[in-house]
Structure 1
Amino acid sequence: MRAWQAANPDFEAVVTGAVLSMPAARHLGFTFGRVAPGEAEIIQPHRAELTQHDGFFQGGVLGSLADFAAGSAAGTLLQPGWANMTIDYTVKILAPAKGPKVVARGRVIKPGVLITIAAADVFSVGHEDETLCATALVTMRNVKLVNS
């Protein structure tokens, strides 16, 4: 994996603070794991309201986690006073996600001034193993914040 350099020394606090202030993120109730330049990990504990039949995580939840993780990874490389928004994303669900948690690991593929391409893999994590259950490719639009 490539070693990216963060332009903002406070990248971790900025990214986690921005994401966790979003109503959708609060609703999902996830937490951040590892955050590094060009990388972000989001942990989603199992909750019955996020599942479909037989306790499997619903596909939209997996897509949201992939989007948040990839977008967060991209956000770690932004200049101070910039934010990003999803332009589009494609999620491929590869296996059912069931267990005590799912973990989305985002990474930057190609950063840019206005557009950043990122990806995320989502893993269903059991007590002793993890299974790749989804993968996503995400395009982010970088924008300068008005009050910066």
Structure 2
Amino acid sequence: MEAANPDFAQAVRAVVLSMPAAKHLGFDFGRIEPGAVEVVQPYRQELTEHNGFFQGGVLGSLADFAAGSAAGTLLPPGWVNMTIDYTVKIVAPAKGEQVIARGRVVKPGRTTTVAAADVVAVSGPEETLCATALVTMRNIKV
């Protein structure tokens, strides 16, 4: 996939990390490539449920941010995207030092983009797939 904006990585980071929800979660980006993004969420007790597992809504939010950010890497300058819908399937408990959401574009489009994300829990060298999501984004010229 090819980025329409040569500054796509900087643009995605700036837009996403300025969002109040992203600031609240406190995640950062790993890799940012055309059509693919990693969102890295360190463990924080306030993001867990009573057994120390990352809470399901947090996993969904991270998947949404990762997939939407991946879609954002393909937008031209002056465009942003917003989530139309997403479906998350939690497939295992998420416990570890961090979770990583790996977003990827499935089908780019002018007005809508379909993306996906897999979320893994990282504990030492081990990664466990804990959630997968399908996300539809609306592309908007601002």
- TM-score range (shorter-chain normalised) is over 0.9
What SS class does the counterpart of residue 9 from structure 1 fall into? coil
Equivalent residue number for residue 10 of structure 2: 13
Displacement after TM superposition at 1:74 (Å): 0.1
In structure 2, C-alpha distance between the alignment counterparts of 1:39 and 1:9, rounded to whole Å:
15
In structure 1, C-alpha distance between the alignment counterparts of 2:126 and 2:14, rounded to whole Å:
30
Amino acid of the structure 2 residue aligned with 1:95: A
1:59 paired with 2:56, answer yes
What SS class does the counterpart of residue 44 from structure 1 fall into? strand
**Which among 108, 128, 142 is matched to residue 139 of structure 2?**
142
What SS class does the counterpart of residue 51 from structure 2 fall into? helix
Displacement after TM superposition at 1:53 (Å): 1.3
1:35 paired with 2:32, answer yes
In structure 2, C-alpha distance between the alignment counterparts of 1:27 and 1:104, rounded to whole Å:
17
Amino acid of the structure 2 residue aligned with 1:47: R
Displacement after TM superposition at 1:54 (Å): 1.3
Unaligned runs of 5+ in 1: none
1:83 paired with 2:103, answer no
Displacement after TM superposition at 1:128 (Å): 1.4
1:107-118 equivalences in 2 (<5 Å): 107-118=104-115
In structure 2, C-alpha distance between the alignment counterparts of 1:128 and 1:66, rounded to whole Å:
21
Amino acid of the structure 1 residue aligned with 2:73: T
1:121 paired with 2:118, answer yes
In structure 2, C-alpha distance between the alignment counterparts of 1:113 and 1:143, rounded to whole Å:
9
Superposed CA RMSD: 0.3
What SS class does the counterpart of residue 49 from structure 1 fall into? helix
Instruction: Report the identity percentage.
Output: 73
Amino acid of the structure 2 residue aligned with 1:114: T
1:72 paired with 2:66, answer no
Runs (4+) of structure 1 moved beyond 4 Å? none
Deviations 1:25-74 (A, max 9, x none): 00000000000000000000000000001100000000000000000000
Unaligned runs of 5+ in 2: none
| Residue-pair matches, total | 142
In structure 2, C-alpha distance between the alignment counterparts of 1:75 and 1:56, rounded to whole Å:
29
Amino acid of the structure 1 residue aligned with 2:19: M
